[in-house]
Amino acid sequence: MSERVTGTVKWFDSSKGYGYITSEQGEDVFVHYSAITDGGLRHLTTGEQVEFSVGDDPCGPLAVEVTRL
């Protein structure tokens, strides 16, 4: 598993279940609601601080095991 990184939620559409996180390195990372591991909550709020691992996806970097800070 890749190392954990922190980032800020750039935007998240709760009705569609996905959005983007900007990592501390400045990279935009796609996030799907199924990757959020916090107590059953399946949405994120713009500006929220999170920690996650980065997985590989054919379309680009993908956030996995996302937790709120």
Rounded distance between C-alpha atoms, residue 64 and residue 19, angstroms:
13
The tens-digit pLDDT sequence of the chain (69 residues) is 578 999 999 999 999 999 999 999 999 999 999 999 987 788 999 999 999 999 988 999 999 999 999
For residue 19, what is the domain's CATH number? 2.40.50.140
Q: Considering the entire predicted model, what is its pTM?
A: 0.92
DSSP 13-37: ETTTTEEEEEETTS-EEEEEGGGB-
> How high is the pLDDT of residue 2?
72
The domain of 16 spans 5-68
Looking at the 3D structure of the chain, how many domains does it have?
1
CA 62 – CA 20 distance, rounded (Å) = 9
